[in-house]
Amino acid sequence: MKAVFSLFAAAGIVFSLQAEGQKDFFFIQRNKNKNEVHYALRFDKKTCEPKGRNPIFGYWRNLEIGPHAYEPIGRFESLAYGISSQERNGKNYFIRLRAFPERLIRLHFEKGAKCQFTPYLSINGKESILTHIYVFAKEGLVKPTVLYVDIFGKLNGAQVSERVLR
């Protein structure tokens, strides 16, 4: 009986994983090492609807260890890389990062042939598709000091970037 229950439980887990998707939509690189912070959205694969109260989350890709090494953002690290707010309005989520609250990220989602999620951010004063952010910081006694942030994206198919001095 226990084996049968385990078989059904395993089938249920596989089914739930197939029904739920996860899509990365941008990442942050740093000068400190090769590790990256990725931001992703949990969604229902059938409806493309975001899942849960806070479907957008960040996590570490520990590329120094290997291509498939992941871990959650720690409590202290969330001060720099955490999400301070995420609010839905129709087919858009509006996201603010704790360390970069002055720039509102708009994540647009829709169902076409497959689920599509596109992050937008103002780059050089124009709403552009956000691809990634690079943070250059120098180590300090208590915490690093950010010297500049480079924002990268696309506008009408062309690469765009902006340097923000801190």
Domain that residue 136 falls in: 22-165
What pLDDT is recorded for position 140? 85
- Is the pLDDT at 18 greater than 60? The verdict is no
What pLDDT is recorded for position 143? 83
Looking at the domain assignment, is residue 4 inside a domain?
no
Provide the token pair at 85.
Answer: 């707010």
What are the pLDDT digits (tens) for 113-166? 889 999 999 999 999 999 999 999 998 888 889 999 999 999 999 999 999 998
Alpha-carbon gap, residue 144 to 67, rounded angstroms: 26
- Is the pLDDT at 11 greater than 50? The verdict is no
What pLDDT is recorded for position 5? 32
Looking at the domain assignment, is residue 14 inside a domain?
no
Quickly list DSSP for the chain.
-HHHHHHHHHHHHHHHHHHEEEEEEEEEEESS-S-EEEEEEEEETTT--B-SSS-EEEEEE-TTT-TT-EEEPPTTTHHHH-EEEEEEETTEEEEEETT-TTS-EEEEEEESSSEEEEEEEEETTEEEEEEEEEEEEE--SSS-EEEEEEEEEEETTEEEEEEEE-
Looking at the domain assignment, is residue 133 inside a domain?
yes
Question: Beta 56-61 vs 158-165: how paired, if at all?
Answer: unpaired
What pLDDT is recorded for position 35? 96
Contact 43, 109 (CB under 8 A): yes
- Model pTM? 0.84
Q: What is the mean pLDDT of the chain?
A: 88
Contact 36, 28 (CB under 8 A): yes
Residue range 41-67: mean pLDDT, rounded: 93
Looking at the domain assignment, is residue 16 inside a domain?
no
Looking at the domain assignment, is residue 1 inside a domain?
no
Domain count, the chain: 1
- Is the pLDDT at 2 greater than 90? The verdict is no
- Is the pLDDT at 33 greater than 80? The verdict is yes
Looking at the domain assignment, is residue 15 inside a domain?
no
What are the pLDDT digits (tens) for 96-108? 999 899 999 999 9
Looking at the domain assignment, is residue 122 inside a domain?
yes
Looking at the domain assignment, is residue 126 inside a domain?
yes
Residue 150 CB neighbours (<10 A):
14
What pLDDT is recorded for position 10? 37
